[in-house]
Chains A and B, each alone.
Chain A
Amino acid sequence: MKSSTAVAAPSNSRFLFRPIRVAEFSLLAFLAVAMGLPLLFLFAGSFNLAPPGKGVVYGLGNWVRAFSDPGTLSALWMSFVLSVVRLIPAMILSVVFAWLIARTDMPGGKFLESFCWIAYFVPDFPLILAWILLLDPNFGFLNTMAQSVPFVDGPLFNPYGFWGIVWVHTSTGGIWFKVMLLVPVFRRLGATLEEAARVSGANTIAMLRRITLPVLAPMILAVSVLSFIRGLQSFNTELLLGTPAGIYVYSTRIYDYLQREPRAYGEATALGSVFLLVLAILLFFYWKYLSGNKKFTVVTGQGYSTLRVKLGRWKYVALGGCLLYITVMMVLPLVFLVVGSFMRRYGFFHIASPFTLNHWKNLLADPIFLLSLKNSLIIATVTGLGSVLLYSAVAYLVVSRRSVVGPLLESLCWIPHVLPGILLGLSVLWLFLATPLRFIFYGTVWGIALALILADSPVATQAFKAGFLQLGADLEEAARVSGASWWSTYRRILLPLLAPIATAVGLMNFGSALTSISTPVLLYSHQSRPLAILLLEYSFTGELERAAALGLLITAIIGSLMIIGRKFGLHLSGSD
């Protein structure tokens, strides 16, 4: 052991605190520029009548034009209606699922839980395609089948329209994530509170009605509001299933403005700003509700209950219902996506040799595909690594250093949580266009990666924050006291301990970068087109079979990443 390190420590630590300060403020400055400035630009831009990058002309023309278009208000209204309507069945189903898994003796709970975990990672776009393949009035498999049923003429199903959107959402975003959120809540909260009710003389139904649901109501409401706000950000389903039927939500309307020639930046920014205002008002009331309700502080019971509600014979009925749901909503569409990718002409089972490998061969030989694959890999890698570096630093400053700028950093990181991808894309685009940043970021993979890194901030920051909180300051301080420098503490103690979280965050952001459409859709150029956008283009041009193949490919990449990641993460944490 060298005693010299210990002697050097006091002066050393004073020296080391300075770079931390510098790091704090540069991080704050970066996030403020990257998150706050685009929003400001977006808002200011809505009052600018000149196209971005040209001389500024202030005026209300954009707002007047946007709101004299009757489509604008109806698009905003439709966003809210759709988000509310599809929330209702999804919430009811998730509460039932979570309760069955966590609090009853229904068999297969573990399986259902892991199924929800996997289903959550299945990207939505391939699933939307799958539902089109199943339900399209002209070639949808279920409609063709229905033709052979007597008394049915004309297509039975039609995915294009309001209820189609609601249905497909129940399949894609639907209940998987909510179940994952609610199961632990049900597990933790219930135990003694429910037991006390039973001992006091309440039967199962009375207990559920008077204790379980009321106690969980604030949590369920919180998950609902969160889902509602996330639902407002939805883009893909509405684009593919709403636009053909003339149904617009605000995000597809913004997209529409920017597809016009010349691009209607003014109207798009005006609509975006209105939406942000409405969102801000909503969030204000939500937070007020949450902070005002001291009565609803969550009281956790101690321990896990071994007592589960006995369903008797009904437990098989319940399991059957759950299995039916996941089969119809997830397994069936995926199977037909596979079938579709191998069919010469989708839906034509009666022609000679209906199956072919051509779509896969064509896809893999397409130079555009290869370029897009390269772009996607660069974007996803940069996004994954970038978000790990950036947000572990933010979380470290917020948690371990209790940085003075911490709360500010944290609130900046929350912005993308409520900011829809399309608006994030639009505001970042506006920033790129109006500043010299355009030379590096406009239409390049770097611009897309930057936007995606910003979009990842809430989840990544929270994950790292939880990690640092769990580590506690002791471990780090013990290392420092033992004579390790800040850097070797970071390298030998913090990094290995956080490796599982870093791996998980990196992989998740890698995955979401691969599948995101709404964020890059306004930012890409022909040179920087990622795979997900190529998928969008295939489906626009009606090459559904090839789109199915590409969609499956993306799904397969995500799937294997998640499996490898779990193993890798587990291995690193040394828990096996």
Chain B
Amino acid sequence: MAQPVLEFRDVSKRFGAVSAVDHVSFAIAHGEIFTLLGPSGCGKTTTLRLVAGLEEPDDGEILVNGAPMAAPRHNIFVAPDKRQMGMVFQSYAIWPHLTVFENVAFPLRVRGEAESAIRHRVQEVLETVGLAGLDNRGATELSGGQQQRVALARALVYEPSILLLDEPLSNLDAKLREQMRLEIRELQQKLKLTVLYVTHDQDEAMTLSDRIALVHLGRFEQVGTPTEVYETPATPFAAEFLGRTVSFEGKLVKNHSRCWIHLANGAARIALADELAMPFSGGESVRILTRPEDIEILPGGELKQNQLSGRIEQVAYLGDHFEYHVMAAGVSFVLEATKRQRFSAGAEVRLSVDSARFTIRPL
């Protein structure tokens, strides 16, 4: 990898007894959208604030383009105004006493740029974010979406080395959120921005990111592309947090190089691909994790390979699809299905699983 734009080396930050950021290391390449995804209070915002210089780390090193920004051991701490960052706050932090133009012009003014250059650059950025013509509005007379654009324009106006976005869409309504998501992605592509994005919304993370870091209790549980973290969750938290999971318990059996899993109460015997069974020697109790969308509901009948019997317990009609509460192998879970097939409560069904997509863990 070329020189990373941002690099964390074993960074820690504590608040009293709570570890907000716990020995975290990562690097972001130029032009990448890197997302910190996690539940509230997991330390993702603190990580972002460490990058901006709004918090000081207790330990470790933070480098931007190879230059140390914070390194407590070497007594280095670069003030936020010297870091050349662009940041969009969750609350937008639009200064209420300034107009749209002056809000956006502020970073250039404090850098002492010439009036004509400021005028030109601010107009350009306002056009980019779609706010042309609103220069003289009082910043607080704007709608939520417009305020969000002002905050974005202000962060972009001096071409920062990194754009920091702290839950920028969480205060917008659903429709606007979707639209802004696309616009941010477009803008990032066009301007080749390096973005550090913080969110608790997995749809946002999945659609926007080049890479996602799943943050839990101040630690990075997994870092990878959206596909990687969804398809092959590295930890139970990763599996639980992203999407829904269904889990069965069973015993892993090996004989003659074939590999099977016997589900807990004899509901089924499932053949397993070799690479999934590799780490096991046979005979262990294991937990199988799979995604509900990888399970198909079929009408009752004779069980074939990789099928188990189940019973529909409840049916919910959600307009565009059905939701079935299913009981199988002693476990109750929810499956979605299209309107093409329809089962009623109490029906005996077969469930077809895709063992290639299992995640298997020893119990």
Contacts and interface: CB of A to CB of B under 8 A. Distances in A.
Contact of B89 (A195, A202, A215, A217): A195
A197 B95 CA distance: 9
Interface string A430-443: 00000000000000
B85 A199 contact: yes
Nearest to B89: A192
B55 interface: yes
A199 B96 contact: no
Contacts of B87: 195-196, 199
Contacts of B111: 201
A299 B96 contact: yes
Nearest to B77: A310
Contacts of A203: 79, 81, 110
A97 B85 CA distance: 32
B184 to A, nearest CB: 18
Nearest to A216: B97
Given A198-B54, A299-B140, A306-B55, A206 B93 contact: no
30 contacts: A192-B89, A192-B93, A193-B93, A195-B87, A196-B89, A196-B154, A197-B95, A198-B54, A199-B52, A199-B53, A200-B110, A200-B155, A201-B82, A201-B84, A202-B81, A203-B79, A203-B81, A206-B110, A214-B98, A215-B96, A294-B138, A295-B138, A295-B140, A296-B97, A299-B96, A301-B91, A302-B90, A302-B91, A306-B55, A307-B54
A298 B95 CA distance: 10
Contacts of A197: 95, 106, 110
B55 A196 contact: no
Nearest to B96: A299
B232 to A, nearest CB: 36
A295 B80 contact: no
Contact of B95 (A198, A211, A305): A211
Contacts of A211: 95
Contacts of B90: 302
Interface string A169-199: 0000000000000000000000011011111
A210 B107 CA distance: 11
B93 A195 contact: yes
Given A199-B80, A199-B87, A307-B54, A217 B97 contact: yes
Interface in B133-183: 138, 140-141, 151, 154-155, 158, 164
Given A199-B54, A201-B158, A296 B80 contact: no
Given A198-B79, A199-B85, A298-B96, 11 more contacts: A192-B91, A199-B81, A200-B155, A203-B110, A214-B95, A215-B96, A294-B140, A296-B97, A299-B140, A301-B93, A307-B54
Nearest to B147: A299
A68 interface: no
B94 interface: yes
A390 to B, nearest CB: 38
A198 B98 CA distance: 16
A189 to B, nearest CB: 10
Contacts of A206: 81, 110
A210 B110 contact: yes
Interface of A: 192-193, 195-203, 206-207, 210-211, 214-215, 217, 294-299, 301-302, 305-307
A-B pairs with lowest CB-CB distance, top 6:
A196-B93, A192-B93, A200-B107, A198-B80, A202-B110, A302-B91
A129 to B, nearest CB: 45
B97 A295 contact: yes
Contacts of A299: 94, 96, 140
B282 to A, nearest CB: 53
A198 B107 contact: no
Contacts of B55: 306-307
Nearest to B52: A199
Contacts of A217: 97
B218 interface: no
Contacts of A307: 54-55
- Most chain B Cβ neighbours within 10 Å, of A199, A296, A302, A307: A199
Main secondary structure of the interface of A (DSSP, over half): helix
A576 B151 CA distance: 43
- Most chain A Cβ neighbours within 10 Å, of B85, B87, B93, B96: B93
A199 B82 CA distance: 8
B86 interface: yes
- Most chain A Cβ neighbours within 10 Å, of B83, B107, B164: B107
Contacts of B79: 198, 203
A527 to B, nearest CB: 57
Given A192-B89, A206-B110, A198 B94 contact: no
Nearest to A305: B54
A215 B95 contact: yes
B146 to A, nearest CB: 14
Contact of B96 (A195, A201, A295): A295
B86 A199 contact: yes
Nearest to B151: A196
Contacts of A195: 52, 54, 80, 87, 89, 93
B95 A201 contact: no
A508 B132 CA distance: 55
A200 B96 contact: no
Given A195-B93, A203-B79, A210 B138 contact: no
Nearest to B104: A200
Nearest to B15: A306
Contacts of B82: 201
B227 to A, nearest CB: 33
Contacts of B84: 201
A450 B198 CA distance: 60
Interface string B33-59: 000000000000000000011110000
B140 to A, nearest CB: 6
Contacts of B155: 200
Contacts of B52: 195, 199
B211 to A, nearest CB: 23
Contacts of B95: 193, 196-197, 211, 214-215
Contacts of B94: 299
A203 B107 CA distance: 11
A203 B78 CA distance: 12
Contacts of A199: 52-54, 80-81, 83, 85-87, 164
A429 B360 CA distance: 89
A296 B154 contact: no
A214 B97 contact: yes
A296 B90 CA distance: 21
